[in-house]
């Protein structure tokens, strides 16, 4: 990704370009080819005052938005590296490697863990491998919209769901993960789900037990995946990639 100096230089270029684009919304630049770069038509003190007020507003908005775009750059970079790895090895090799990795852990669990522990690792391995495979299918075989709506959520689900799945079958794992999940669900209902009586309805109609834990974390993976997808889209808008990619 480059050194810190390279990153700061790239950020400065991005911010300058964004501020210039923001100014262009309300003011026109000088068309003379010999004019100094980033010079606008400002014919009166009133226009100059409006120009700097508009610039200040743009600087504030850009300062707020750009950190999210930087996260989008990082997400896009990670996606690009994974894309290159998959392109070099082949998706079947990647999925097979995932299956072998989790299969090895499952075999180890068969020998060293009780039945509940073996089932936990086996269930987690199936969920992780399936989520990775589905994420690739939606990213490579679908449109950009399908990539944004499904590929990213399944990629996040491949991280979130396997440990929760394992926790359902292992009291040892569940003592930590499921109890923390309950606290997280409680926090969501108290602080995030605040539309009308929706929080109360969810408490009355649903019980957080068994498969509901998986549903909760898979449901949480969807907005997280969508958020990452939107951040990548914002990064592409600010700094378009030099080469096309059907997925990210």
Q: Out of 61, 88, 115, pick the residue that ends a domain.
A: 88
Closest CA to 14 of 37, 6, 2: 6
Each as own residue / partner, the long-range contacts of residues 130-133 (CB below 8 Å, 24 or more positions apart, any chain) are 131/155, 131/157, 131/158, 131/161, 131/162, 132/94, 132/95, 132/98, 132/158, 133/91, 133/95
Question: How much is the pLDDT for 149?
Answer: 77
Number of residues written out for the chain: 248
Same domain for 109 and 75, yes or no, is no
Contact indicator for 173, 120 with CB cutoff of 8 Å? yes
Same domain for 73 and 33, yes or no, is yes
pLDDT at 14 over 60: yes
Question: How much is the pLDDT for 177?
Answer: 83
Confidence of residue 248 (pLDDT cuts 50, 70, 90): very low
Q: For a pLDDT cut of 70, what percent of the chain falls above it?
A: 71
Question: How much is the pLDDT for 247?
Answer: 44
Q: What is the three-class DSSP state of 196?
A: coil
Same domain for 54 and 115, yes or no, is no
Same domain for 114 and 33, yes or no, is no
Question: How much is the pLDDT for 245?
Answer: 44
Confidence of residue 111 (pLDDT cuts 50, 70, 90): low
Question: How much is the pLDDT for 6?
Answer: 76
For the chain, how many structural domains are there in total? 2
Q: What is the pLDDT of residues 38-95, one digit of tens each?
A: 567 677 888 888 888 988 998 898 888 888 888 888 877 777 776 676 656 655 666 6
Same domain for 236 and 128, yes or no, is yes
| Helix residue ranges, H only, 90-114 | 91-112
Same domain for 238 and 145, yes or no, is yes
Same domain for 118 and 218, yes or no, is yes
Contact indicator for 66, 11 with CB cutoff of 8 Å? yes
Q: Out of 33, 65, 88, pick the residue that ends a domain.
A: 88
Same domain for 186 and 100, yes or no, is yes
Residue 35, class by beta-carbon neighbours within 10 Å (0-12 exposed, 13-18 middle, 19+ buried)?
Answer: exposed
Same domain for 43 and 102, yes or no, is no
Instruction: Provide the domain limits for residue 225.
Output: 90-248
Same domain for 145 and 45, yes or no, is no
- The mean predicted confidence, pLDDT, of the chain is 75
Same domain for 150 and 212, yes or no, is yes
* Element containing residue 233 per DSSP (H, E): helix 211-238
Pick from 56-70, 96-110, 143-157, 179-193: least confident: 96-110
**Cα gap 121→104, rounded to integer Å:** 10
Q: Out of 68, 88, 108, pick the residue that ends a domain.
A: 88
Confidence of residue 159 (pLDDT cuts 50, 70, 90): confident
Same domain for 84 and 124, yes or no, is no
Which residue would you say has higher pLDDT here, 90 or 99?
99
- The stretch 5-27 carries a mean pLDDT of 81
């Amino acid at each position: 990704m480059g050194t810190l100096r390279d990153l700061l230089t790239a950020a400065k270029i991005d911010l300058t370009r964004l501020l210039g684009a923001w100014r262009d919304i309300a003011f026109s630049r000088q068309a003379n080819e010999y004019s100094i770069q980033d010079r606008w038509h400002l014919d009166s003190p009133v226009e100059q005052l409006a120009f700097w007020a508009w610039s200040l507003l743009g600087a504030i908005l850009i300062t707020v938005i750009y950190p999210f775009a930087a996260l989008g750059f990082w997400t896009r970079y990670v996606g690009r590296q994974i894309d290159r790895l998959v392109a070099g090895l082949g998706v079947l090799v990647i999925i097979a490697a995932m299956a072998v990795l989790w299969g090895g852990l499952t075999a180890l669990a068969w020998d060293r863990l009780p039945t509940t522990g073996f089932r936990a690792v086996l269930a987690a391995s199936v969920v992780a491998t399936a989520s990775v495979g589905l994420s690739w299918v939606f990213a490579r075989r679908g449109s950009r919209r399908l990539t944004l709506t499904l590929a990213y959520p399944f990629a996040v689900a491949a991280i979130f769901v396997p440990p929760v799945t394992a926790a359902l079958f292992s009291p040892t794992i569940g003592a930590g993960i499921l109890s923390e999940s309950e606290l997280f669900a409680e926090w969501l209902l108290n602080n995030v789900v605040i539309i009308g009586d929706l929080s109360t309805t969810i408490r009355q109609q649903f019980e957080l037990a068994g498969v509901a834990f998986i549903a909760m974390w898979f449901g949480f993976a969807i907005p997280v995946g969508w958020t990452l997808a939107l951040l990548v889209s914002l990064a592409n808008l600010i700094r378009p990639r030099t080469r096309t990619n059907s997925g990210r």
